[in-house]
Structure 1
Amino acid sequence: MVEDRITDGERIAQLLASELTGLDVEPLEGVTVVDADRDVSPSSDGPVAYRIRHRESYVGAVRLYPDGARLQLTVTDDTVLESVDERHRELTVIEGRSGDIGGEFHSTSAIDRESYSDDVLTVQIASGAAVKPALDVVRDVLEQT
């Protein structure tokens, strides 16, 4: 049994980048990690570790916090937001606006449903084990856009 959980935001962001670029199946084909800042350190400001492109468009960014990472996806279609929200209802709801860290990170991924008004879907990733559910959200968003 594994006793150590990966909760370092930088390591979580690295795991997510590997998943995003390592799976050569639709809809993740054509996903690249760009504008990576190798010198970035987690902080309460949530600096951008890297941006995510899908083919020719920027689709999101990953920010680093001391207790995890946040994946921010740009979603301008309310229908897509509603569909993703419904499909991932099991993910923990967190309060606060996009970029507002407030509260504790959970052991799973969480969708910040308050950030919808900013056309940004925020997924909180609190551990290495939460990378897979976050990747599922990326897949759903890409399939529908």
Structure 2
Amino acid sequence: MKFLVLIHVLSAIIGVGPTFFAHVLLRKKQTLEELRMSLSVGSRLEIFPKIGGSLAVLTGLLLFWLGDYGSFMQIWLFGSLVAYVIIQIIAIGFATPNQKKLGGWVLDPSNQKATTLPGEQVLLWTKARNYFYAASTVGVILFIFMIIKPS
């Protein structure tokens, strides 16, 4: 059981972790070249939430079924699951599409000589960053639920 808890905690950190610095990669006051590099790095990091997050949910469900946690409606357990789903909705449904559209323009070879972003891309940049801030906030709530859970 301790090994399953270890896998669960590590996969949760690895799965949700990139959410905590995605907005850093999209920080304000970057040059366009820095933004290109940030978007390139960000696209490589997408694999961690997909694998780690899925593994965290599976191991969490296993822990619930194998452990003595009582009712699924315990606030920390239910809240953790809801927080995780909200993070996924924000990241996959809102932040990532804006980030991908921005990356499509920024990383397009025909725009490599550009030195500033057009207004539409600035708006995408801002939206993606703000969505990632929201996902990070919910991630903090998720970890609070997991830390203060009953022993």
Higher helix share goes to which structure?
A: 2
User: Taking structure 2 as the reference length, what is the TM-score of the superposition?
Assistant: 0.27
Higher strand share goes to which structure?
A: 1
User: Taking structure 1 as the reference length, what is the TM-score of the superposition?
Assistant: 0.28
